Structure 1
Amino acid sequence: MQRNAAKCKKRSRNSSRTTALRFIPLGGVGEIGKNMNVLEYGDDMLVIDCGLMFPDEEMLGIDFVIPDPAYLLENKKKIRGIIITHGHDDHIGALPFILPELDCPVYATKLTLGLIKGKLEEIAPDYELKAHEIVAGDEIELGCFKVRPFSVCHSIPDGVGYAIYTPVGVVLHTGDFKLDPTPIDGRATDYALLATLGKEGVLLMLSDSTNVERDGFTPSERMVGKTMEQTFRLYRNKRIIISSFASNLHRVQQVIETATRFNRKVVLIGRSMVANVARARELGYMDVDDDVFVQPSQIEDFPHNKLVVITTGSQGEPFSGLVLMSRGNHKYIKLGSKDLVVISALPVPGNERLVHRTINDLFRQGCEVIYEAEQNVHVSGHASREELKMMLSLVNPTYFVPLHGEYRHLVRHKQLAEEVGMPARNVFILEKGDVLSITKKQARTSKKVPVGAYIVDGRTYGDLKGGLLGERKDLAEDGVVCISIAHDPYGNLVAPVSVESRGFLHRLDANELYSNIEEAVEKAVKTFRMGNKAGKKDDDVASRVKSAVRKVLRKFSLSPPVILVMVNEVQGNGYASKIAQGELAR
């Protein structure tokens, strides 16, 4: 430790920064998902997790949201590595988009690295991952930080928290955890290490806040196994479809084991479900024979009571397996009275309407549906209030920052810390970009760093504050009118004006409107041509046409649609076509 401190002080001697330890959340506070945190001391920076967040209903067509990497890119030379707590998407899902730009080493456990590699192969196949496999109990030196992972129990194998030794004291990051006394893989949270650290002294604790509003203790994952056993016995004559998170491998493993005991074959539906199970089997985290599985195309070859389907879609994702089934649109599965659907997950905050809509649609298909509200088909992977109290009491940190929760969760966790004896002044509720500076004598918040979010659509991403979502909202609410004109080099129209609309007015109800638009466009082009014999630009033509169309539309609608003008200029034997004002402007 002394050697590390000396090394860090030497780097910092010529630095304008103070030698305070800085903690900066770039995501994962005030929200569920998008987890990314930074520890910084002098010229050394350590990143913890790099996750995504699922979009809300207003983010039309968006796949997910990731943290803004601007601050990391600005300081990429200082980054000694990214340490990952576990393999859920809200902790690793942004890596394929951010990591190639940072190009720094990643430290994670075996399964977590396997899942990360799978995502990179799909989204960034040309990037060569600088992977370092770790196990609980290792000690890794990253600049002036000495990092020690320790095992925690969660809803996915191989989860870890981190004890991070810094020049000013120990920082403990719990990761996502619960205190399950009977974990599926026998790998419990490391109480002994937590108690030892608590006795030696922890400067700062960062802790999961997801279930702070739930009293008592989170039940063991084994309870779900018992519920599955009862369900299989009760519904012997039905085909059973179980929807869960694809990364909840403990849950998937229990379903497969139960299906095997009841002599049923297993069908996996959903790209992420298939990929995660394959990766877990490949790495030795699932011991399942090949003959347990059948392909979706073989479903019709088996009686209903001989099949179990494990699928994605527990959050009502629009193109997931379960949602397609609920709408009657799935290629291989048509639901009916001989089916039982079990939704083995709770809605992520913000997804409640999507999940409830899916449940209603499933009932419309005639099948029976079991969901968490009525039976114990799901348990959380996160600690409830009594477990969070135990963690605070064991670690007994000097300073505390609640993480991984919406703002109300962070406030409740602060109150919980005060209940177990922490001074209110030592508990900090941070927002994204806040900087908590800690020395051996004090802790205080200081000026924010640049922070934001990026939306991902397919394999591309852009700033959440950019125009894409606004454009989609305008199109969704008011529709679009598209005007196409063709003129020669002298500005004369050489074809009739074309008018098309979508989501604005029915063509059959708008003959008069379309006629008025065509007349207004012809007049605008003619007037523009006569007043601009030289220096004519297509953008200027489009602007004049758009203004004329807007005046006509105001007579028919209080909320005018998006107006898009396409200008085609005839050149010799052909013509060049372009959208002269392609932005979706009013």
Structure 2
Amino acid sequence: MLQKSTGKRRRRPRGGKGSASLKFIPLGGVGEIGKNMNVLEYGDDILVIDCGLMFPDEEMLGVDFVIPDPAYLMANRDRIKGILITHGHDDHIGALPFILPRLDCPIYATRLTLGLIRSKLEEVAPKYELKAHEIAAGDVLEIGCFKVQPFSVCHSIPDGVGYAIYTPVGVVVHTGDFKLDPTPIDGRATDYALLASLGTKGVLLMMSDSTNVERDGFTPSERMVGKTMEQTFRLYRNRRIVVSSFASNLHRIQQVIETAVRFNRKVALIGRSMVANVARARELGYMNVDEDVFIQPSEIEGFPHSRLVVITTGSQGEPFSGLVLMSRGDHKHIKLGPKDLVVISALPIPGNERLVHRTINDLFRQGCEVIYEAEQNIHVSGHASREELKMMLSLVKPTYFVPLHGEYRHLVRHKQLAEELGLPSKNVFVMEKGDVLSMTKRQAKLLEKVPSGAYIVDGRAYSDLNGQLLSERRDLAEDGLVCISAVYDPAGNLLAPVSIESRGFLHRADADELYRSIEDAVEKAIKAAKAEGKDEDVSSRIRSAVKGVLKRFSMSAPVILVLTNEVQSGNGFACKFSRREQIK
């Protein structure tokens, strides 16, 4: 077995040998699908597992995605010994470009996962020098006071691992995202032998994927999708076939490409992440595809329909993804019509259902045929169903159990499943973000929360989910904006007509009387403020006056933005800007 070490000596925890407890802290990935980030802490040493993002819901206007709040890690970054990554899906690595440069700690991941991480960092944080350690299933790593052994798990992306983490208190098992597929595409099955061995020796804590706990039976093998694709290609020989999938589902993409080759079709890739992930997988040897299989997107419209397969992003209805642009007829390289078949090979992420259904409806409006999960077996999950979750619990036999990776109902259902298999209720913990589970060899208990939450990412900027940015966007979306601009002299006399601009509110053509009343109210407010000698009060007087007018004329409560320019004697002038304020 390969031995690796960080080169750092183990440090005895504060307070003497045996005095510290092991703490487990989820900072994301509980009560939600995505944003996975977990913390193990013993003495002076902290180990982080995963650093993922979550896709926004429809209320998060203009937001690209959501990441965990790193406040607790930032406050303790000198104690962080490394970040372990289970696999290369965005809900496990997507927050790294925003958080890792701030923590500047080592990262441990398998070869493909590191390749995908490097791609993300090159795009968002190109100047950051990654402290990367490539690992493989079966390695043993010395990281601070922890000994870490990654083990193989089968998932919907190659090179996924779980972790057995040996701590001074006991063994911790993090399953990662997994399923027990007996016929995996890459021949790399979940390591039953290691899990059974750990269970025999004794496991203190297990954290496990809960996504499919409400699904009975076993999750079908990924190979079933390959058979369905084969049947689909055979049935629709004369149509151009467009397949939409997650860009990180490389097993699925590999099967589509292999099927296309068998049916003598070329492949076009659409979507930046799709192109980047396939290129990286080919570069690292995880996809064996000849270059002459591919054509450029610019060649699509001139290519015979029966000889082409298009693989695109957009299976979740993302607003600017390839499939959504096609569904609206806005894609510059491809126009869909009656001679096209679209296959959506993914399930909607919880919260994305409306976006996905809207995309499907728009595709039908373009005249093409659409196959989606509700109709045929063109998608299988990468997550374990109930019987597989039972097998995992039975193999590992943990003393304590924490369900992870699921909405709150999934965590509760997983807790109930563990209790059905004999785990005492007091030993199963349904946790929320920021909860602290403290464990010794004899007991476990919840302590006070640590700071936790979420940040929204818009482009390359991010801010607190509960901060002003998202609140302002919601206000603007609900009631619109009225912008008042007034120029006056020191006596309060207007030097130009009051300017009123509105967006998302009643326009002048529809409410001329309202606008005249606003102009009169603004003029009176300026004169009143100046007469009382309260220069600093002009903007608030204008807002109050406009608020009064709107209450008489309208039920809406738009955001009011006031810009006041007081022109002094001579050529100079002073500009006073108000803050934005929503009328209640």
Report the TM-score, using the length of structure 2 for normalisation.
0.96
State the percentage of identical aligned residues. 79
RMSD: 1.9
CA shift at 1:456, angstroms?
A: 0.8
1:79-135, CA deviations, whole angstroms, 9 ceiling, x for partnerless residues? Answer: 000000000000001111111111101000011111111111111112111111101
Asked if residue 579 in structure 1 is aligned to residue 577 in structure 2, the reply is: yes
Structure 1 counterpart SS, 2:370:
strand
Q: Distance in 1 between matches of 2:248 and 2:542?
A: 53
Matched with 1:158 is: 159
1:338-363, CA deviations, whole angstroms, 9 ceiling, x for partnerless residues? Answer: 00000000011111111111111111
Is 2:195–2:395's contact at 8 Å kept on the other side of the alignment? yes
| Alignment equivalent of 1:561, drawn from 558, 563, 566 | 558
Q: Structure 1 regions of 5+ residues with no counterpart?
A: none
Is 1:269–1:312's contact at 8 Å kept on the other side of the alignment? yes
Structure 2 counterpart SS, 1:394:
helix
1:369-424, CA deviations, whole angstroms, 9 ceiling, x for partnerless residues? Answer: 00011100000000111111111111111111110001111111111111222122
Is 2:560–2:580's contact at 8 Å kept on the other side of the alignment? no
Matched with 1:502 is: 503
Matched with 2:13 is: 11
* Aligned ranges 1:407-556 → 2 under 5 Å: 407-488=408-489, 491-532=492-533, 536-537=535-536, 540-556=537-553
Is 1:8–1:43's contact at 8 Å kept on the other side of the alignment? no
* Aligned ranges 1:23-422 → 2 under 5 Å: 23-422=24-423
Is 1:543–1:581's contact at 8 Å kept on the other side of the alignment? no
Is 1:22–1:41's contact at 8 Å kept on the other side of the alignment? yes
Structure 1 counterpart SS, 2:554:
coil
1:284-307, CA deviations, whole angstroms, 9 ceiling, x for partnerless residues? Answer: 111111111111111122011111
Structure 2 counterpart SS, 1:141:
strand
Is 2:202–2:398's contact at 8 Å kept on the other side of the alignment? yes
Structure 2 counterpart SS, 1:493:
coil
Q: Distance in 2 between matches of 1:460 and 1:341?
A: 35
Is 1:492–1:529's contact at 8 Å kept on the other side of the alignment? no
Q: Distance in 2 between matches of 1:445 and 1:468?
A: 34
Further displaced range: 445-454 or 163-172: 445-454
CA shift at 1:580, angstroms?
A: 2.5
Is 2:557–2:582's contact at 8 Å kept on the other side of the alignment? no
CA shift at 1:579, angstroms?
A: 3.2
CA shift at 1:508, angstroms?
A: 1.2
Aligned length in residues: 578
Further displaced range: 131-140 or 560-569: 560-569
CA shift at 1:489, angstroms?
A: 5.5
Q: Distance in 1 between matches of 2:361 and 2:574?
A: 51
Q: Distance in 1 between matches of 2:572 and 2:532?
A: 26
CA shift at 1:46, angstroms?
A: 0.3
Q: Distance in 2 between matches of 1:573 and 1:262?
A: 77
CA shift at 1:11, angstroms?
A: 3.3
Is 1:566–1:581's contact at 8 Å kept on the other side of the alignment? no
Q: Distance in 1 between matches of 2:407 and 2:209?
A: 11
Q: Distance in 2 between matches of 1:507 and 1:276?
A: 51
Q: Distance in 1 between matches of 2:334 and 2:158?
A: 30
1:1-51, CA deviations, whole angstroms, 9 ceiling, x for partnerless residues? Answer: 9x99xx767332379x95110001011011100100000001100000000
Q: Distance in 2 between matches of 1:575 and 1:251?
A: 64
Q: Which amino acid aligns with 2:244?
A: S
Q: Distance in 2 between matches of 1:400 and 1:227?
A: 37
Q: Distance in 2 between matches of 1:334 and 1:71?
A: 49
Q: Distance in 1 between matches of 2:11 and 2:312?
A: 52
Is 2:13–2:42's contact at 8 Å kept on the other side of the alignment? no
Is 1:479–1:562's contact at 8 Å kept on the other side of the alignment? yes
1:473-492, CA deviations, whole angstroms, 9 ceiling, x for partnerless residues? Answer: 11111111110112346654
Is 1:236–1:305's contact at 8 Å kept on the other side of the alignment? yes
Further displaced range: 36-45 or 349-358: 349-358
Q: Which amino acid aligns with 1:360?
A: N
Structure 1 counterpart SS, 2:300:
helix
Q: Distance in 2 between matches of 1:520 and 1:107?
A: 64
CA shift at 1:575, angstroms?
A: 5.1
1:518-549, CA deviations, whole angstroms, 9 ceiling, x for partnerless residues? Answer: 111111112222221xx733xx2211111111
Structure 2 counterpart SS, 1:223:
helix
Structure 1 counterpart SS, 2:295:
coil
Is 1:486–1:567's contact at 8 Å kept on the other side of the alignment? yes
CA shift at 1:561, angstroms?
A: 1.0
Is 1:147–1:163's contact at 8 Å kept on the other side of the alignment? yes
Further displaced range: 63-72 or 420-429: 420-429
Report the TM-score, using the length of structure 1 for normalisation.
0.96
Q: Distance in 1 between matches of 2:324 and 2:490?
A: 53
Structure 2 counterpart SS, 1:398:
strand
Q: Which amino acid aligns with 1:392?
A: L
CA shift at 1:246, angstroms?
A: 0.6
Is 1:111–1:158's contact at 8 Å kept on the other side of the alignment? yes
Structure 2 counterpart SS, 1:349:
coil
Q: Structure 2 regions of 5+ residues with no counterpart?
A: none
CA shift at 1:559, angstroms?
A: 2.7
Q: Distance in 1 between matches of 2:413 and 2:498?
A: 62
Q: Distance in 1 between matches of 2:50 and 2:519?
A: 56
Structure 2 counterpart SS, 1:567:
strand
Q: Distance in 1 between matches of 2:347 and 2:579?
A: 46
Matched with 2:23 is: 22
Is 2:153–2:162's contact at 8 Å kept on the other side of the alignment? yes
The change in CA–CA distance for 1:111 and 1:575 in structure 2 (over 3 A counts) is: farther
Q: Distance in 1 between matches of 2:120 and 2:12?
A: 38
Further displaced range: 73-82 or 487-496: 487-496
Is 1:242–1:311's contact at 8 Å kept on the other side of the alignment? yes
Structure 1 counterpart SS, 2:83:
strand
